Amino acid sequence: MKDKILYNWFILLLLLVGTTVSSCKKSFLEVEPKGKQIAETTEDYNLLLNNVQFINFNIDMQVPMGDEVAAIDPFFSAESLKTQRLFKWEAMIYEPGQNSPEIILFMNGLYAYNKIINEVMESKGGSDQTKKSIRAEALVGRAWTYFQLINYFGKPYDKATAASDLGYPIVKEANVMAAKFERASVQEVYDFIIGDLTEAMPDLLVQLTSRVRASKPSAEAILGKVYTFMGRFEEALPLLISSKDNFSNAAIPVNLYDYNETFDEDGIFPIDEMFGPSMPEPFYHEETLLGRQFMNGWTFYQSELVITENTADLYGESDLRNYFYSSEDFDEVEYPNGMLRRIGPWYTSFGVTVPDIYLLLAECKARLGDLPGAVSDLEAFRKHRMPHADAKIRKKIASDKFNLVKFIFEERIREFAMQGYRWFDMRRLSVDPDYNSLVNYEHVVYDVEGDIAHTYVLKPERLVMRLPQKIIDENPGMENNP
């Protein structure tokens, strides 16, 4: 029975992923408007923002690269070459003739965003304010997309070197005939992101009415996260506060689920022993402000990647997030060394989420020396993930800035393990002189007995993904990452 259920879910996953990637072109920045339709009216441009390509992504390469992850043989050795290369932090992920979904899917989205940004104000019908609002949403979408791209293909932001570090080509036109692209610097890309979000803010809806469409609270959260990744905590803090304050004004429910209630035997999320808590789809998930997702096989049907023993030890016995883990593989064989397989949810939300806002807010307060404020936000968050009595932070941690920031990053691991968030946190921590010790630079493959089969070391240059060779070949003179 279990095998039949698994097979049905696996087929569903393949169909969903196939739908996501079926429209991809083979070459860099080569995009064709879906169905070759031409947008003319304001409503045409409005409907473009509902396109599924803005929501579903076949992009999961960050998951195997996190330092909270270990691998288990013989599953790992039988996995795809791409997964093995990512886990080993190798330089070449794709074969010379391959492009990457991280580029193809994002560039397809950028084509549509640029089309809206450049054309909607001249569209037929619709008020000027409606056109400005649609354009503002596209600016947010473009900024979010570039924030993803720069965190794959540009060095972690370092104020001292960002102006000379290679970033990603800035594309502002919806031009399928464009042939030459040059990489902007990391600083130029971050300035571009900030410019788009700042320009968009006045014309966005203040009230969140949809989890698919951008609003001012979601844009504030994105800009707050961008500033956090740049180490500009004073600028990030008011944006994150404003975004959080607007939860209560939303036209749809936006809040943290309280696992003490939802995972109760009479709760709204029944717990399946194979697939974990039955969490809602992103469109209905109350912790989602802006829905962007990818299908995550490592939280669903795959057995080769697990959380490390050290990661598993971060969870207390009463932490209700333990329901998202199993100690067994799909053949009901116990994993060694206390390592655990993630069993839900089967998609990862990586747009704008309530938990991320809470934890970024606590981090900014702690970084700026407001330890009581950070502790208050953090404990409020933890009370939704465990019994209230266990959510309190010990005085030794709460009263020390380094220990508190360290604890916040550990809380981010507890919340987002095997979701891909950790890779991006590792990148920014690696250039933080005060907290770079929080990054683990080793990946280990274990055999079924729990003995170490292989160890791989993360080199600093591998904190940046290389552009596929196909892109370099198509753009003579474009320099690749080391």
Helix, coil or strand: residue 299: helix
Q: Is residue 185 classed as helix, strand or coil in its secondary structure?
A: strand
Q: Over pLDDT 70: what percentage of the chain?
A: 91
Residue 118 is given by DSSP the state: H
Looking at residue 144, what is its pLDDT? 97
- Highest-scoring range by mean pLDDT, 8-22, 114-128, 277-291: 114-128
Instruction: Report d(CA 92, CA 99) in Å as an integer.
Output: 12
Report the SS3 class of residue 469. Answer: helix
**Cβ neighbours for 117, distance < 8 A, ≥ 6 positions apart:** 135, 138, 139, 142, 172
Quick check: 21 pLDDT over 60? no
All structural domains of the chain:
69-82+95-474 (1.25.40.390)
Distance of alpha carbon 204 from alpha carbon 310, whole angstroms: 43
The amino acid occupying position 332 is E
Residue 150 confidence (pLDDT) above 90: yes
Q: Pull the structure tokens for residue 61.
A: 């390469």
Peptide bond into 156 cis (omega under 30): no
Question: What's 258-289 look like in SS3?
Answer: CHHHHCCCCCCCCEECCCEECCCCHHHCCCEE
Residue entry with tokens 């965003």: 113
Higher pLDDT, residue 191 or 332: 191
Identity (one letter) of the amino acid at 247?
A: F
Instruction: Please provide the DSSP assignment of 339-390 as one string.
Output: -BEE---SEEE-SEEHHHHHHHHHHHHHHTT-HHHHHHHHHHHHTTTS-GGG
Comparing 205-214, 241-250, 263-272, 459-468, which segment has the lowest mean pLDDT? 263-272
Question: Over 70: is that where the pLDDT of 17 sits?
Answer: no
Q: For residue 247, how many other CB atoms are within 10 A of its CB? A: 17
- Rounded to an integer, the average pLDDT of 92-98 is 90
pLDDT in tens, 425-464: 999 999 999 999 999 999 999 999 999 999 999 999 999 9
Cβ(70)–Cβ(305) below 8 Å: yes
> What is the share, in percent, of the chain residues with pLDDT greater than 90?
77
Positive or negative torsion for Cα 144, 409, 264, 300: positive
Residue 275 has what pLDDT?
85
**Dihedral sign from CA coordinates of 199, 202, 208, 212:** negative
pLDDT at 372 over 50: yes
List Cβ neighbours of 169 (8 Å cut-off, separation of 6 or more). Answer: 29, 181, 182, 183, 184
Q: Residues 363-383, buried b or exposed e (16+ Cβ, 10 A)?
A: bbbbbeebbebbbebbeebbb
Number of Cβ atoms within 10 Å of the Cβ of 290? 26
Does 178 have pLDDT greater than 70? no
pLDDT at position 51 is 81
Highest mean pLDDT among 4-8, 91-95, 165-169, 274-278: 165-169
Name the pTM for this structure. 0.92
Residues 200-228 have a mean pLDDT of: 97
Q: Helix H segments across 161-215?
A: 186-200
Report which of residues 351 and 23 the model is more confident about.
351
- pLDDT bin (cut points 50, 70, 90) of residue 56 is confident
In this prediction, residue 177 has a pLDDT band, given cuts at 50, 70 and 90, of low
Please say if the pLDDT value at position 4 is more than 70: no
Q: What is the mean pLDDT of the chain?
A: 90
Query: Region 317-344: what's the mean pLDDT?
Result: 94
Q: How far apart are CA 376 and CA 20, in angstroms?
A: 41
Specify the DSSP element, H or E, that contains 25. Answer: none
pLDDT of residue 12: 33
Q: Is the per-residue pLDDT at 214 higher than 50?
A: yes
Torsion of CA 55, 58, 61, 63, to 10 degrees: 60
pLDDT band for position 53 (cuts 50, 70, 90): confident
Lookup: tokens for 290: 């802006």
Within 22-122, residue ranges assigned H as helices are 42-48, 81-87, 101-119
Eight-state DSSP code of residue 102: H
Q: How far apart are CA 429 and CA 424, in angstroms?
A: 9
Q: Are 69 and 418 in contact (CB under 8 A)?
A: yes
> What pLDDT band is residue 22 in, cutting at 50, 70 and 90?
very low
Token pair belonging to 76:
């790992």
- Does the structure show a pLDDT above 80 at 3? no
How many Cβ atoms from other residues are within 10 Å of residue 43's Cβ? 15
When pLDDT is averaged across residues 321-339 and rounded to a whole number, the result is 93
Distance CA 37, CA 384 (A): 46
